[in-house]
């Protein structure tokens, strides 16, 4: 073990306020970040928490960093920066930094204090081998996350193309007619939302025993995925089943886009419950995929946001706002065709999500064992 300051590069470490404009060329060079730099959250006021470490993978020409961060640039002749990124991600590394955080509280840690931390210094080839093993897991995780984003984006784009812009297959031969929604394709029926979607349908969840529970924090701002599901007793809150869509009813969660598609339950009869601040949507005459995409649409969200009332900062959607919201319902053949295309993507998104969770668990199990030497990376090279 050595003091971390002994492996700093000769350049200083520190932080710069982004509002110092204009900056001189010297300041830009002094306070810019490079690929491989480590950034530490300086204060507990930062959402990530004081002491949290990240590594810069790629940067623009003059990327700088804000005053709530500390940049650490390591001596590359001794150190692989990814090895130390993973070290500070490990329980041992986190505890090491937290020992500083506990001392300074809200005042924030300083680079000079980081320099005094005792950190391991294995031979550089060992550092690189460990970092390479762990980076391989992160690369697979990032690849799966990119695929999830693309699949969801494609499903929503197809929804908009067919059901918002009415450019569905064969649309050229379908005349438009005047409707309460303006010009809509002939044969499409304009319905009020409650006629085609159950809003907060009645679901029976027994009080006895533990069941899956979804807090608000489980919903994503930009994805259908529902993560970090808990298990709780009781049955107080929103109730739902596979195929239901969950929409946040409270500010700022609704404005931020928190919406989820339920597909984590083991079968069609299984039930779960969650936050009282969810609106549950279930298809009545549409399809589950259509309902989810509709809930993500600007039109749906605009109506919900306009209806919000209550004390500042705790406003909620008024459920009656949906009573007069009108939807152009496509023919069942077109709905089925749409779901036939996007339903496999919905399932693949969930499967990729499970893969990401498994990869993270495996990486997190390997991390302390590789860093502590319990797993001999040299032996792995010769195996």
With a cut of 60, say whether residue 23 has pLDDT above it: no
Provide the H-helix boundaries in the chain: 25-31, 81-89, 91-104, 111-114, 124-159, 193-196, 253-256, 288-296, 298-306, 332-372, 377-382
What is the pLDDT confidence band of residue 18, given thresholds at 50, 70 and 90? very low
pLDDT of residue 47: 44
Lowest mean pLDDT among 10-19, 97-106, 295-304, 359-368: 10-19
Query: Nearest 5°: CA angle at 168, between 164 and 171?
Result: 110
Q: Helices (H) and strands (E) in the chain — how many of each? A: 11, 17
**Cα gap 68→291, rounded to integer Å:** 42
DSSP per position, 114-174: HTT-EE----HHHHHHHHHHHHHHHHHHHHHHHHHHHHHHHHHHHHIIIIIS---TTGGGS
What global pTM score does this model have? 0.86
Given pLDDT bands bounded at 50, 70 and 90, which one contains residue 165? very high
How would CATH label the architecture of 2-121? Alpha-Beta Complex (3.90)
pLDDT computed for residue 105 by the predictor: 59
pLDDT at 20: 45
What is residue 40's predicted lDDT score, i.e. its pLDDT?
A: 87
Radius of gyration of the chain from its Cα atoms, rounded to whole angstroms: 26
- Grade residue 160 by pLDDT with cuts at 50, 70 and 90: very high
Residue 157 has pLDDT above 50, yes or no: yes
Nearest CA to 2 out of 91, 115, 124 is that of: 115
Question: Does residue 90 contact residue 367 with C-beta atoms inside 8 Å?
Answer: yes
The pLDDT assigned to 21 comes to 47
Lowest mean pLDDT among 58-67, 161-170, 263-272, 303-312: 58-67
Burial of 207 (0-12, 13-18, 19+ CB in 10 A): exposed
Respond yes or no on whether the N-terminal peptide bond of residue 281 is cis (omega within 30° of 0): no
Q: For 127-139, what is the mean pLDDT? A: 95
CA distance 257 to 250: 11
Q: Give the CA count within 13 Å in the CB-facing half-sphere of 362.
A: 14
Query: Residue 358: pLDDT band by 50, 70, 90 thresholds?
Result: very high
Summarize pLDDT for 224-243 with one digit per residue, the tens: 999 999 999 999 999 999 99
Report the alpha-carbon distance of residue 123 to residue 115 in Å, rounded: 20
360 three-class SS? helix
Q: Are strands 278-283 and 326-329 parallel, antiparallel or unpaired?
A: unpaired
pLDDT of 49 > 70? The answer is no
Distance CA 221, CA 149 (A): 12
* The pLDDT of residue 32: 76
Higher pLDDT, 20 or 38: 38
Going from the C-alpha of 109 to that of each of 14, 28, 48, 113, 287, the distances in angstroms are 11, 23, 14, 7, 53
> What residues form DSSP beta bridges with 184?
177
Contact 274, 246 (CB under 8 A): yes
Model confidence at 365: pLDDT above 70? yes
Q: Which of 138-142, 193-197, 372-376 has the lowest mean pLDDT?
A: 372-376
Q: Which CATH code of 3.40.50.970, 3.90.220.20, 1.10.238.10, 3.30.70.20 fits the domain covering 189-329? A: 3.90.220.20
Is pLDDT of 256 > 80?
A: yes
Least Cα distance to 224 among 259, 200, 253 occurs for 259
**pLDDT classification of 60: cutoffs 50, 70, 90:** low
Average pLDDT over residues 112-116: 85
Residue-averaged pLDDT of the chain = 88
pLDDT tens digit sequence for 203-212: 988 889 999 9
Q: Please answer whether residues 279 and 246 qualify as being in contact, where contact means their C-beta atoms are separated by less than 8 angstroms.
A: yes
Q: Determine contact, residues 244/282, Cβ cutoff 8 Å.
A: yes
Number of Cβ within 10 Å of residue 103's Cβ equals 10
Average pLDDT over residues 313-324: 87
- Crossing angle between the packed helical segments 91-104 and 332-372, to the nearest 10 degrees: 80
Tell me, what's the pLDDT at 22? Answer: 55
Query: Picking from 112-121, 289-298, 356-365, 371-380, which range would have the lowest pLDDT averaged per residue?
Result: 371-380
CA atoms within 13 A on the CB side of 194: 9
The bridge status of strand 118-119 relative to strand 69-72 is: unpaired
More confident of the two residues 107 and 228: 228
Residue 187 scores a pLDDT above 90: yes
């Amino acid at each position: 073990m050595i003091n971390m300051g002994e492996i700093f590069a000769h350049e200083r470490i520190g932080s710069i306020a982004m509002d110092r404009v204009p900056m001189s060329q010297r300041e830009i060079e002094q306070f810019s970040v490079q690929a491989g730099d480590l950034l530490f959250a300086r204060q507990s006021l930062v959402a990530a928490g004081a002491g949290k470490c990240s590594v810069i993978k790629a940067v623009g020409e003059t990327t700088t960093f804000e005053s709530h961060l500390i940049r650490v640039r390591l001596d590359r002749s001794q150190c692989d920066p990814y090895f130390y990124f993973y070290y500070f991600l490990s329980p041992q590394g986190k505890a090491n930094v937290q020992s500083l955080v506990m001392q300074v509280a809200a005042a924030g840690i300083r680079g000079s204090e980081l320099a005094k931390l005792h950190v391991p210094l294995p031979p550089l080839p060992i550092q690189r081998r460990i970092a390479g093993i762990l980076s391989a897991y992160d690369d697979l995780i990032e690849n799966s996350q990119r695929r999830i984003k693309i699949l969801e984006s494609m499903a929503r784009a197809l929804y908009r193309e067919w059901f918002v812009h009415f450019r569905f297959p064969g649309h050229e031969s379908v005349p438009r007619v005047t409707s309460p929604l303006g010009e809509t394709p002939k044969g499409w029926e304009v319905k009020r939302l409650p006629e085609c979607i159950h809003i907060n349908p009645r679901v029976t969840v027994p009080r006895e025993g533990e069941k899956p529970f979804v807090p608000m924090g489980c919903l994503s701002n930009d994805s259908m995925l529902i993560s970090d599901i808990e298990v709780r007793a009781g049955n107080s809150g929103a109730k739902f089943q596979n195929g239901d869509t969950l929409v946040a009813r409270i500010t700022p969660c609704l404005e931020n886009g928190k919406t989820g598609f339920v597909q984590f339950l083991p079968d069609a009869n299984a039930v779960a419950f969650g936050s009282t601040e969810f609106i549950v949507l279930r298809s009545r005459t549409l399809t589950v995929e259509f309902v989810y995409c509709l809930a993500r649409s600007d039109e749906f969200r605009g109506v919900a946001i306009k209806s919000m009332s209550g004390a500042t900062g705790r406003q909620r959607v008024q459920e009656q706002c949906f009573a007069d919201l009108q939807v152009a319902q496509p023919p069942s053949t077109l709905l089925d065709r749409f779901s036939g295309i996007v339903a496999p993507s919905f399932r693949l998104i969930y499967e990729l999500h499970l893969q990401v969770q498994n990869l993270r668990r495996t990486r997190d199990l390997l991390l302390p064992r590789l860093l502590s030497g319990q797993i001999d990376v040299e032996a792995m090279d010769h195996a």
